[in-house]
Structure 1
Amino acid sequence: MTTPTARPLPQKTIGVLGGMSNQATAEYYRLLNDGLNARFGGWDNGEIVIVSVNFGNIEHFVRRNEWDAAHRYLSGKVDALERAGADVILCVSNTMHRVVEPIMEGCATPFIHIADPTGAAMRTAGLSRVALLGTMPTMLSEDLRRRYAERFGVEIMVPSDADKATVDRIIFDELVRRDLRPESKARYLEIIDRLAADGAQGVILGCTEIFLLVDQADRPDVPMFNTTALHAAAAVAFALGD
């Protein structure tokens, strides 16, 4: 694409509620800028505002089910993004949509829910029964299950209790620190294989760090939906007015 000559280049400012974790946030920043540069070319990239929270606070709230405290904490961070001029807001954590979605219902700034680009991709692929991997709250979320079913016609499967515990442990103890272990990758792939054998037509990588460990190349016959990449692509489209 030829770089436009009119300056400043028209685009919307993307607000990123980040730090959950810093690994996911760094990937969002890369994807957003790469996506916008692919359209603009030259030296252009995104206009992005990031408010990066302390993940230690998030881990504390999630582990102890302190969702009201999480709501209060993140409300102030959303306010900061709005004051900084964000035209649209993303939350980089599937898990924390539990509190960010209701916060955003009271805001004028548009919000791209992380499940919606993934749901649209699954619907386009013609899938109706898909497994969800993520943190324990994500895998147990009835709100997410309803959203995928009612908006996109997709039934959500989750791993067994033992496998859910494994998926959650690896996320919190390893992936958020970018501690990538071959044995953990093998465990994830075993879980994916079991879900596929039980009828899953695909798998949602429903934590924004899982892409660090497994990707489509690991199981070419099982469609994988990377919520991180799909969410970022939706934000790029919004910023461009697509």
Structure 2
Amino acid sequence: MTKPNTRPLPQPTIGVLGGMSNQATGEYYRLLNDGLNRRLGGWDNGEIVIVSVNFGNIEHFVRNDAWDEAHRYLSGKVDALERAGTDVILCVSNTLHRVVEPIMAGRATPFIHIAAPTGEAIRRAGLSRIGLLGTMPTMRSDYLRNWLTERYGIEVLVPPPADMDVVDRIIFDELVRRDLRDSSKAEYLRIIDGLRAQGAEGVILGCTEIFLLVQQADRPEFPMFNTTELHAAAVVEFALERMR
């Protein structure tokens, strides 16, 4: 794209509702800046505001199905992002979208939902039956599955209960601390292979830390949809569109 000659460079401010976890938040910051720099060139990257929550609070809300408490807590954090003058808001957690989407519904600030670029990528790939890995609420709840089914016609498969427990435990006990273990990677790949055996045509890495452990290169022939990268790329495109 052709950039204006004026400085400072006019560009939208990206608001990141982060801390869910700090590992995912750091990856979003890197992906947003790298993506913008690749397109803008030189030394240019993003103008980003991060409001980072206490993950201990998030863990409590998620473990106890305390979604009303989460709504009140995160509403205040979104208020802070809007007071900071953000032009678009994203949430770094698949799980917490069930709370943040209703918070954003009555606000003027654009919100880019993590499932939208994921659904679009699956549709472009011509797939319709997809496995899902994520936290226990993400896998058990109808929220994300219905979101993808209603908007993109995607059938979503989840692992059996015992494997859900494994996926969730590794996220909370290891990945949010960036504790990356070969044994856990092997477990994830076993579970992914099980979803494929159920008829899945690909798998959604539906927690924003999973790609730290498992990547497309681990199963080159089986499509993996990395929600973190897809989401960040969609926000980059939004920001660049606003600059044209």
The two structures have a TM-score, normalised by structure 1, of 0.98
Q: Distance in 2 between matches of 1:141 and 1:10?
A: 41
Q: Distance in 1 between matches of 2:143 and 2:182?
A: 33
Instruction: Identify the residue that residue 60 of structure 1 maps to in structure 2.
Output: 60
Kindly provide the amino acid, as one letter, of the partner of residue 157 in structure 1: L
1:224 Cα shift? 0.3
Instruction: Identify the residue that residue 75 of structure 1 maps to in structure 2.
Output: 75
1:6 Cα shift? 2.1
Confirm whether residue 24 of structure 1 aligns to residue 28 of structure 2.
Answer: no
1:8 Cα shift? 2.0
Cα deviation code 1:108-135 (max 9, x no counterpart): 1010010000000000000000000000
Q: Distance in 1 between matches of 2:3 and 2:102?
A: 39
1:143 Cα shift? 1.9
Instruction: Identify the residue that residue 43 of structure 2 maps to in structure 1.
Output: 43
Instruction: Identify the residue that residue 105 of structure 2 maps to in structure 1.
Output: 105
Q: Unpaired segments of 5 or more residues in structure 1? A: none
1:50 Cα shift? 0.4
Note the 1:76-91 alignment, pairs <5 A. 76-91=76-91
Instruction: Identify the residue that residue 234 of structure 2 maps to in structure 1.
Output: 234
Q: Distance in 2 between matches of 1:39 and 1:58?
A: 34
Cα deviation code 1:6-33 (max 9, x no counterpart): 2221221110000000000000000000
1:181 Cα shift? 0.6
The two structures have a TM-score, normalised by structure 2, of 0.97
Q: Distance in 2 between matches of 1:145 and 1:207?
A: 14
1:144 Cα shift? 1.2
Alpha-carbon RMSD across the aligned residues, in angstroms, is 1.1
Cα deviation code 1:143-192 (max 9, x no counterpart): 21111111111100000000001000000000000011110000000000
Cα deviation code 1:174-224 (max 9, x no counterpart): 000001111000000000011111110000000000011000000001100
- Give secondary structure in 2 for the equivalent of 1:241: helix
1:2 Cα shift? 7.0
Confirm whether residue 152 of structure 1 aligns to residue 152 of structure 2.
Answer: yes
Kindly provide the amino acid, as one letter, of the partner of residue 162 in structure 2: A
Report if the CA contact (8 A) 1:12-1:47 is conserved.
Answer: yes
Cα deviation code 1:56-85 (max 9, x no counterpart): 000011111111111100000000000001
- Give secondary structure in 1 for the equivalent of 2:117: helix
Q: Distance in 2 between matches of 1:2 and 1:146?
A: 40
Kindly provide the amino acid, as one letter, of the partner of residue 188 in structure 2: Y
Q: Distance in 1 between matches of 2:143 and 2:14?
A: 25
1:4 Cα shift? 4.7
Kindly provide the amino acid, as one letter, of the partner of residue 173 in structure 2: D
- Give secondary structure in 1 for the equivalent of 2:50: strand
Report if the CA contact (8 A) 1:12-1:238 is conserved.
Answer: no
Q: Distance in 2 between matches of 1:3 and 1:238?
A: 16
1:137 Cα shift? 0.4
- How many aligned positions are there? 242
Kindly provide the amino acid, as one letter, of the partner of residue 33 in structure 1: N
Q: Unpaired segments of 5 or more residues in structure 2? A: none
